[in-house]
Structure 1
Amino acid sequence: MLANSNHHAMLKQVEATHAPDGRQFAVKPLLHIIEDIFQSVTGFIQVYIYIYINQQGSTQAQLALLDDDTFQSGFFDMLHKYLSFTIHKVSGEIHCKCSDGGDAHATTLRIFNILGKYAWDAKAVIAMAAFALNYGEFWVVAQLYRTNPLAKSIALLKQLQEILELDDNLKSEFEALSKPIKSMLNLVKCIVEFEELPSQYISPETPETMTATAVYWTIRSIVACSAQIMGLAGMGHDYIVSTTESWEISSLANRTDSVHTHLTDQIYLCYKMIDEKGHIETHQALVKLNETAQSDNMNYLKALIYDKDDQQPLLDGSTKNRVSLNVLWRKNVLLLISDPDVSLQELLILEQMYQESRKHPTRTESQYEVVWMPVVDRTNPWTEKMNEQFETKQGKMPWYSIHHPLMVNPAVISYFKEHCHFKRNPILVVLDIQGKVVNSNALHMMWIWDSLAFPFTSAREEDLWSKEVWRLELLTGSIDPAIPVWEDERKFVCLYGGEDMEWIRKFTYKAQKVADEIGLPLELVYVGKSNSKETVRRNMATIAVERLSHTLQDIPLIWLFWVRLESMWHSKMKHNHCKNDETDPILQEIMTILSFDGSNHCWAGIYRGSEMAKAKGETILNSFIDFPSWKKNANDISFIPALNQHLLKDHSPHHCNHLVLLDITCTFPERVVCSECNSQMENFIIYRCSN
């Protein structure tokens, strides 16, 4: 209670001196000068002590290392007109009262009286400037004492020669002052930052006396440190810092640290409120811009991408130069939004598609630009290693990208999470030439139809599906240039997948044997598995060495085959409003192959024109083994219809398939039926490593 009472009485005395005249000063330039002084002094003390005690090398050569850049600022006119006299007056007050050992609290109040007309932050900065002036003058003389006759004469008049002949005891006393000085400087910077905050964001619970308290303990610490410095300077080796003085300095440093922590917490809360309001305002602005007709896309892009202070927020992937948003003016823009660690295989496939479009720049379907917007977790610090990884990935992109991830406003990220269902996997948000979002995620379209999907709108997506039928070309796209050739030659194309190498050997042998037996023009292509990269890589090598069949050329193309199928499912579900339409033949075919892949067994499908047959590995292998029993039927009604009849007869009534779906961007369908037996499937949650 006594401590609270004393604190309250002290604050009343301080507030009684506070009579600001309303003038505002830019205190930050003065604060920069103060910081420059203390940084220079700190460095000089270390070098000076080292030189004197160790007597190594030329003093002049060592001191030359301390030269700082000259501080330049237009602030000096105001300093001369309004602040210089006050700084000298406070400096004199400190010097006078601390020299005769006056009461620290009384001296502090006298300084408050001198600073009565200034705002709280100006009081703290001016007092700190006065302290820096005294402290800096002392060390300027110390710096030049050994090399400059004028400095040596001044030192003699000020009786500083003894203190400048440093020994270990004095060294420790000066070094002990570094902590309270650092604490004071940190608190002053915090006061300045706090006073700059908009008043409407200051928490109502924040007491009005908080800043006054912070300024008081700053000036009180200045007085205590000044008294000790003057004692050391005046008496040199004869001056012994008392236990009381040492305790007071330490106590004041702890006090200023405590006040600094409390003030920092308030600043954090204020910034949090500002961020929350900024989130709301940015979100509302983006919604309004998207709903309001615009003449071009600049307003929307500027709301999305940091474009202030004349900075060039984009990096041009083709030239590696920074550019402004104007390069996107009235262009269709595809925003690639992802984590910074977006997979290289996704980027590789996207790059191939993008580069292909650049080969024909005048074509309608090439009239778009891609911009990568990396999304980072702001709760984790951005490290140098993360920056290097980001720049490495950014350097491989041929399109535009945000120059730095922290230039993406967190409110924009929240907007995309809410309106475009961004989670972790990449999405491709499409803006038309007016900046309107015409597709919340066109990445599925890009995987399925490539540039044919231009202009990548939801309407275009629906139109493409309305004209599609299930066919081999839709299933494989352009992942293997040989497949369209085989189709033109009316060959049978067998796609097969899975991990079991023994099954692969048996199946390819039996399939080729049957084909040879009846003269069937059959081509087999291994398409691997969606989530077993290393196993598939080994299988591809074995298949090539043993010449069992064709394979897709590399792992990224294996990945593309499966991601296209998943994209078809997502796209279909999007336009079916997340309903599993059992009458949609394309959707059923997609789900069949996805369920084969999810069942962790091998599978195969044979295609020719509009005919197709497919089954799980053991089922279709047994059909080929049992070929003599249905060979006649194959000759009578053709191969694929006969195979389908045999597969239907051989169908197992037991457990059928798994359907594993990634990156669900809509709600789960209430009902999904098995693609083989048409029974309703049960749903489970599966966690599986993506490597």
Structure 2
Amino acid sequence: MYNPAKAQQRSKSDRRMFSSSDDTAMMKQIQATHAPDGSEVDVKPIIKVIEDIFRIAAPGIDGVINGTQENADESVDKTPVEGFDGILDALAYIINKITCELSCKCSGGADAHTTTMAVFNMLPNYSWEAKVVISLAAFAVNYGNFWLVAQLCNTNPLAKSVSLLKQLPDIIEHAVSLKSRFDAIKSLIKVVLDVTKCIVEFNELPTQYISHETPPMSTAMALIPTASYWTIQSMVACASQITGLLGMSYEHLTSTTEAWELSSLAHKVGNIHGHLRSQLGICYQHIDEKRDAEMYQMLVRTFEMTYPDNSRILRALIYPKDDILPLTEGSNKKRVNIDVLRRKTVLLLISDLDMHHEEVAVLAQIHDEKEELNYEIVWLPIVDRSTPWNEENQNKFQQLQSLMPWYTVVKPSLLEPVVIRYIKEVWHFSKKLMLVALDPQGKVVCPNALHMVMIWGNFPYPFTSTREESLWKDETWRLELLVGGIDSNIPEWIREGKYICLYGGEDIEWIRKFTTKAKEVAATAGISLEMVYVGKSNAKERVKKITQTIIEEKLSSCWPNDISIWFFWTRLESMLFSKTKDGKAAENDKILAEVLTILSFNGSDLGWALISKGSAELARANGETFLKSFNEYDTWEEDARAGGFMPALGRKFEKLHTPQHCSRLILPGINGGIPEKVVCAECGRPMEKYFMYRCCND
């Protein structure tokens, strides 16, 4: 017979045990009961049924107080639990046995530890997760029986009679007083279920990537016996509280001590759950690393093999499955399959979401001019997976995607982390835009074709490194190399035999003086001179203001948009990167030396200019030298009339050259490609290398 006084005594004993139990001795006791025979139990269907019981019983005392008990027929999921019948046949006996054990021991006044150990002794041959799930199923039967009668006692005669024998009306009468106790039971059940599912989750980890002997997993395995013990003891505590309510006096019914005990136990089990989840997270990280390493090696091997077409390579990079259409077509924004790229040269446009609109505009123009060339561009956006994908990133992606006339992935998350790792480690992507060229079989034929595309447009097709080298062998330092495709007037001026002057900088006073003097010298020398302002890189707003002043004061010609100026300087940088990727030195390469010279002019605060007669006769100097040469035109006018304007100007530059100078060459950060040795454009000596960090929102 149930004795309330003995229950109170047992509760005090449990409190002492909770606070002073010897964990080491307790673990020895638990381990002594553990002798698994290797048989597997599919616990997932059982957990689903357990969750159904707790869910339907969830209104609990609140439902009694508010009269909002759910209709069980409406609440229960009537879908059969797949595979449950066979499991039930094997486990029904042991579940029923533990259900009886919980009822008898809790009614008979046994302390929680003794009852918990009795449960463990009934389950010696089961794994830890099976012990916990079977025990939870047994408790769920008791818990479900209690609330089944409580929910139906007002509507079902049988339930009413049973409730009278259990004295449930007294409990319902004092429902408000008991609310804190039932809330504590509900909270404890929740954390018990969380820990149970966590223990089961450990058992489901893929053994090919993590074994029980692997440190993250072995650490977790050491925690699971303790977690199992406190989980089952929590069930015993809940069962004791529910059983103890039957026949208890009013004083005991209204006591808050039991609610405090259950809350303390819930806190302890909650901490255990936190430790397990943390360790589970470490295990998943270990698994991800192992899986990623395996997938990465598979990707490396994929690129090392030869295929009849590029489908295998593109699927490995973009999306390997057939369940969605992974690409968006640029022209009509329709979703398409990777097969549209089969047996074509593919340029993989790789960038982050901070890609400049000028880059898109220039590449779009080149793409639109490809006519019948058998190649396609595909944008692979690289995003940082460690930061959450937010609305700002989505807007950036969609805005860039809307500007692109070529194929793009439907969303950045389609690219697997191992693909991003491969792009960064093998293709050396950091932040700067790059174009990786794949031939129709998917073989990488140029690790970055961006520079040859920027220099020559579609002419380098099929964009192989060999083609790039061949073009440089045939190339000379000429005006078309600098401005071809940027200014449609210049080819006409060349045909007309005009002198053409390109000048830059952001010193408007120098520009006024230089353009005025240049016109005077041209008139005196009897030459037809056209001047074009090419601005300065990375100074968009300042260059805009200067351009407006030049137009208003009619100082010279200007390019009509920002993109032309951006393209001019970017193209020069592309020449530098293309030339130096094989470690070439400027002193051995006329084109590279001239490119470095103009880029060093751009790094100066002063102006600069370049004059060309026809296509190949060019002379350049910094702004001070050029202006002084024109101011002193009378000293070399006779030489110009006798030997030609351009040779005479070159000789004047040589006379004005002084050893005192300070040249700066500012290059955008890239991964490799810059030679260790860069010589000064003024004196030919090696330049010192510095690092500059720049932030400019101009």
Range class of TM-score, shorter chain: 0.7 to 0.9
Partner-residue secondary structure (3-state), 1:451: coil
Map 1:469-618 onto structure 2 (within 5 A). 469-574=476-581, 577-607=582-612, 608-618=614-624
Cα deviation for residue 539 of structure 1 reads: 2.3
Cα deviation for residue 15 of structure 1 reads: 3.7
TM-aligned CA distance change 1:292 to 1:601, over 3 Å = same
Give, as a single letter, the amino acid of the residue that structure 2 aligns with 1:560: F
Match of 1:429 in 2: 436
Partner-residue secondary structure (3-state), 1:589: helix
Match of 2:352 in 1: 339
Match of 2:199 in 1: 191
How far, CA to CA, are the matches of 2:262 and 2:491 in structure 1?
A: 84
8 Å Cα contact 1:508-1:548 kept in structure 2? yes
8 Å Cα contact 2:150-2:163 kept in structure 1? no
Give, as a single letter, the amino acid of the residue that structure 2 aligns with 1:220: Q
Cα deviation for residue 465 of structure 1 reads: 1.0
Give, as a single letter, the amino acid of the residue that structure 2 aligns with 1:569: L
How far, CA to CA, are the matches of 1:533 and 1:494 in structure 2?
A: 21
Match of 2:658 among 619, 639, 652: 652
Find out whether 1:6 has 2:28 as its counterpart.
no
Match of 1:619 among 618, 625, 637: 625
TM-aligned CA distance change 1:242 to 1:172, over 3 Å = closer
Give, as a single letter, the amino acid of the residue that structure 1 aligns with 2:560: Q
Cα deviation for residue 589 of structure 1 reads: 1.0
Partner-residue secondary structure (3-state), 2:383: coil
TM-aligned CA distance change 1:517 to 1:16, over 3 Å = same
Cα deviation for residue 571 of structure 1 reads: 0.7
Match of 1:255 in 2: 268
> Any stretches of 5+ residues in structure 1 without a counterpart?
53-58
Map 1:271-290 onto structure 2 (within 5 A). 271-290=284-303
How far, CA to CA, are the matches of 2:153 and 2:214 in structure 1?
A: 54
Give, as a single letter, the amino acid of the residue that structure 2 aligns with 1:677: C
Match of 2:188 in 1: 180
TM-aligned CA distance change 1:176 to 1:236, over 3 Å = farther
8 Å Cα contact 2:112-2:237 kept in structure 1? yes
Match of 1:408 in 2: 415
Deviations 1:430-480 (A, max 9, x none): 222222222221222222222222222211111111111111221123223
RMSD after superposition: 3.8
Match of 1:683 among 682, 686, 689: 689
8 Å Cα contact 1:296-1:329 kept in structure 2? yes
Match of 1:466 among 469, 473, 481: 473
Partner-residue secondary structure (3-state), 1:604: strand
TM-aligned CA distance change 1:546 to 1:678, over 3 Å = same
Cα deviation for residue 344 of structure 1 reads: 3.0
Which range moved further: 616-625 or 169-178? 169-178
Match of 2:280 in 1: 267
Partner-residue secondary structure (3-state), 2:22: helix
TM-score by length of 1: 0.85
Match of 2:119 in 1: 111
How far, CA to CA, are the matches of 1:29 and 1:311 in structure 2?
A: 31
How far, CA to CA, are the matches of 1:456 and 1:493 in structure 2?
A: 32
Cα deviation for residue 273 of structure 1 reads: 3.4
Cα deviation for residue 678 of structure 1 reads: 1.7
Give, as a single letter, the amino acid of the residue that structure 1 aligns with 2:27: L
Which range moved further: 506-515 or 188-197? 506-515
TM-aligned CA distance change 1:306 to 1:675, over 3 Å = same
8 Å Cα contact 1:494-1:522 kept in structure 2? yes
8 Å Cα contact 1:314-1:324 kept in structure 2? yes
Deviations 1:134-164 (A, max 9, x none): 5566667777888x66798589556555655
How far, CA to CA, are the matches of 2:427 and 2:576 in structure 1?
A: 18
How far, CA to CA, are the matches of 1:75 and 1:6 in structure 2?
A: 41
Give, as a single letter, the amino acid of the residue that structure 2 aligns with 1:14: I
Match of 1:672 among 660, 678, 681: 678
Partner-residue secondary structure (3-state), 1:380: coil
TM-aligned CA distance change 1:263 to 1:627, over 3 Å = same
Partner-residue secondary structure (3-state), 1:112: helix
Partner-residue secondary structure (3-state), 1:599: coil
8 Å Cα contact 1:490-1:609 kept in structure 2? no
Match of 2:9 in 1: none
8 Å Cα contact 1:602-1:616 kept in structure 2? yes
How far, CA to CA, are the matches of 1:451 and 1:569 in structure 2?
A: 19
Deviations 1:56-81 (A, max 9, x none): xxx69x999x9798767635555555
Cα deviation for residue 683 of structure 1 reads: 1.8
Match of 1:351 in 2: 364
Cα deviation for residue 582 of structure 1 reads: 0.8
Percent identity among equivalent residues?
Answer: 48
Find out whether 1:121 has 2:134 as its counterpart.
no
TM-aligned CA distance change 1:513 to 1:433, over 3 Å = same
Partner-residue secondary structure (3-state), 1:417: helix
Match of 1:56 in 2: none
Cα deviation for residue 406 of structure 1 reads: 3.6
Give, as a single letter, the amino acid of the residue that structure 1 aligns with 2:228: V
Map 1:152-301 onto structure 2 (within 5 A). 153=160, 157=164, 160=168, 169-177=177-185, 179-199=187-207, 200-205=210-215, 206=218, 208-231=221-244, 239-240=252-253, 245-301=258-314
Partner-residue secondary structure (3-state), 2:688: coil
Match of 1:448 among 420, 434, 455: 455
TM-aligned CA distance change 1:83 to 1:486, over 3 Å = farther
How far, CA to CA, are the matches of 2:513 and 2:60 in structure 1?
A: 82
How far, CA to CA, are the matches of 2:607 and 2:507 in structure 1?
A: 7
Partner-residue secondary structure (3-state), 1:566: helix
TM-aligned CA distance change 1:156 to 1:243, over 3 Å = closer
Which range moved further: 369-378 or 458-467? 369-378
Give, as a single letter, the amino acid of the residue that structure 1 aligns with 2:693: Y
TM-score by length of 2: 0.84
Number of equivalent positions:
672
Give, as a single letter, the amino acid of the residue that structure 1 aligns with 2:22: N
Cα deviation for residue 591 of structure 1 reads: 0.4
Partner-residue secondary structure (3-state), 2:511: helix
How far, CA to CA, are the matches of 2:159 and 2:30 in structure 1?
A: 41
TM-aligned CA distance change 1:129 to 1:476, over 3 Å = farther
Give, as a single letter, the amino acid of the residue that structure 2 aligns with 1:671: K
Partner-residue secondary structure (3-state), 2:501: strand
How far, CA to CA, are the matches of 2:157 and 2:643 in structure 1?
A: 114
Give, as a single letter, the amino acid of the residue that structure 1 aligns with 2:492: V
Which protein is bigger by CA-based radius of gyration?
2
Partner-residue secondary structure (3-state), 1:428: strand
8 Å Cα contact 2:677-2:686 kept in structure 1? yes
Cα deviation for residue 595 of structure 1 reads: 0.6
Give, as a single letter, the amino acid of the residue that structure 1 aligns with 2:299: L
Give, as a single letter, the amino acid of the residue that structure 2 aligns with 1:547: K
Cα deviation for residue 628 of structure 1 reads: 3.7
Partner-residue secondary structure (3-state), 1:183: helix
Which range moved further: 241-250 or 549-558? 241-250
How far, CA to CA, are the matches of 1:314 and 1:165 in structure 2?
A: 65
> Any stretches of 5+ residues in structure 2 without a counterpart?
1-16
TM-aligned CA distance change 1:168 to 1:313, over 3 Å = farther
